[in-house]
Amino acid sequence: MKVQGLQGLRGLLAVAMTLMVVACGSTNTLPQATVHDSLTTSVENYQYLVGPGDNLNIFVWRNPELSGSFLVRPDGMISTSLVEDIPVSGKTPTQVARDMEQVLSQFIRDPIVTVSVSGFVGPYSEQVRVIGAATNPQAVNYRQYMTLLDLMIQVGGLTDFASGNRAQLVRTVDGRQVSYRVRLDDLIREGDIRANVDMLPGDIVIIPEAWF
């Protein structure tokens, strides 16, 4: 009976080890995200896009009555004194200025428009999201050169039950979602700055809880 029991235990251990190897193999094959020391072209060329909730400061040269501060509505449009519905969401401030010049040219001669943004919110597609075992999981407005460390500071770090080294970064690449392994325990708890990576607009960080 003791021999049978020992053989059964060995069988269970073999199955468990097999499952662990399979699990590790499936996650370790994920490519690493770009290290912050070598910034990607996407990061270098980042331009802020206007989104619902942003406040646009529009200045029309020599036409102060047409200038002012305009809130971007939930439908991505603004209303001015001359035109009620002007789509601005998903465009850069410079693009909005050129569009405004085209619209205003119907009413005034050779308009010159400049646009600045305050109260940054941006479109949802540009926000970076943290879900799972973070102290304060939330959506964060992307900023140029934002790194994983910057993001984790903003969400308050990891909870006591987080399994940071099993965290995943989900990024859209060429129209499809790709998962990358990120080492949050090494980065935050061990201070290993080599685990820091660049963030890009639309990234999602998923932090699982530890297995007990």
**CATH class of the region 33-45+124-207:** alpha beta
> What tens digit of pLDDT does each residue of 147-182 get?
999 999 999 999 999 999 999 999 998 899 999 999
Q: Is the pLDDT of residue 23 over 50?
A: no
Pick the CATH number of 55-118 from 3.30.1950.10, 3.30.420.480, 3.90.1150.10, 2.160.10.10: 3.30.1950.10
Domain 33-45+124-207 and domain 55-118, same fold? Reply is no
Rounded Cα distance between 42 and 54, Å, is: 23
pLDDT band at 189 (very low <50, low <70, confident <90, very high): very high
pTM of the shown model: 0.72
Q: Is the pLDDT of residue 59 over 60?
A: yes
**Where does the chain show beta strands of DSSP type E?**
55-60, 68-71, 77-78, 86-87, 113-118, 128-132, 139-140, 167-173, 176-182, 204-207
**How does the average pLDDT of the chain come out, rounded?**
84
46, 146, 193, 198 from 37: Cα distances, Å? 17, 12, 10, 9
> What tens digit of pLDDT does each residue of 91-146 get?
999 999 999 999 999 999 999 999 999 988 889 889 999 999 999 999 999 998 89
CB 152 within 8 A of CB 158: yes
Q: Residue 29 burial by CB count (10 A; 0-12/13-18/19+): exposed, middle or buried?
A: exposed
Give domain limits for the chain: 1-30, 33-45+124-207, 55-118
> What tens digit of pLDDT does each residue of 62-73 get?
999 999 999 999
